[in-house]
Amino acid sequence: MIMIAKEWKEFYRSALFIITAGLIIVSGWFVLFPYGGMDIPVAFRTGIVSVFQVSVYFLPLLATVYGAFSMAEEKNQRTLPMLVARGMTINQFVLRKYISLVTVFVPAILAAYVVAMIPAKSVFADFPPQEFALFAISTILLTVIFIAIGMLLGSVISQKLTLVGFIIGTWLAFIYFIDLLLMYWLPNVAMKDVLGFSIIYFLSPLHAVQYFLFIKLNVYEFSDMSVLYDHFTFQSPWLVLIGNMVIWVAGTIGLSILVLKRKGVSHD
């Protein structure tokens, strides 16, 4: 609880909180309000999908920044060596740090998205709470994955400028480079390579979470898929999502612990 209270005070006094809340609310309003001028009724899921697709461009970046700089600050301020000297293990520190960051950051983005959805009541023909709940789950899962990735970057790198460079590089890799590589590979994919291609495609948290949300909102229908496309997808979006969570969260947290143990707690 002490660590959560510390993170709470630091985050809500920082510019990152204002930037995060502001981007979510302003981008949400900019996306939703134009639907109100349409001559035909528009389903709420149409707007929520658009909000999610816009959020993908900044929410992972903000979550990575938060996780990375919070972890790097613990190293630079020598908080970690002091806690270890008092009997806390590296494993306990990293796990508690991760839980604290998630506990502080997730309520902030959820509150911001609730405010961003205020126009939805007047803009859309309906407002199904279950569709917003699916959207909220998707954004939360995307956030917790990238906080873990950020913590790994903060564990490895202490210099702020270097850390900024790696954060931006990681963000660009997930947003652009992975898709470019997959697009280059796709024309050469034979039927025997489809499973491998699909696994690599869905290893991206952006692809996995979006696939989960679109299936649950019935944007994609399994019955409408061609036989070929059916081979490229997994029939269980929960399997894709849970697999991503295990690989990215458990993997990056484990690597963060390993890096801190190898580097030691007495130096950066």
Digit-coded pLDDT (tens) for 75-94:
887 777 777 777 778 898 99
pLDDT computed for residue 53 by the predictor = 94
Q: Tens digit of pLDDT for each residue in 150-194? A: 999 999 998 899 999 999 999 999 999 988 988 888 788 777 777
What is this structure's pTM? 0.89
pLDDT computed for residue 232 by the predictor = 52
Q: Tens digit of pLDDT for each residue in 94-115? A: 999 999 999 999 999 999 999 9
Task: Give a yes or no: residue 51 inside a domain.
Answer: yes
Task: Give a yes or no: residue 268 inside a domain.
Answer: no
Q: In the chain, how many domains are there?
A: 1
Task: Give a yes or no: residue 213 inside a domain.
Answer: yes
Q: Provide mean pLDDT across the span 4-19.
A: 87
Closest CA to 67 of 1, 156, 175, 138: 156
- How far is Cα of residue 172 from the mean position of the Cα atoms in its chain? 14
pLDDT computed for residue 267 by the predictor = 42
Q: Which residue segment(s) compose the domain that 210 sits in?
A: 2-263
Task: Give a yes or no: residue 233 inside a domain.
Answer: yes
Q: Provide mean pLDDT across the span 26-49.
A: 84
- How far is Cα of residue 86 from the mean position of the Cα atoms in its chain? 33
Task: Give a yes or no: residue 256 inside a domain.
Answer: yes
Q: Provide mean pLDDT across the span 188-207.
A: 82
Q: Which residue has the higher pLDDT, 120 or 147?
A: 147
- Count the neighbouring beta carbons within 10 Å of the beta carbon of residue 237: 19
Give start and end residues of each alpha helix (H) in the chain. 2-12, 15-32, 44-55, 59-76, 79-85, 90-116, 120-123, 129-156, 160-172, 178-185, 194-202, 205-216, 227-232, 237-245, 251-263
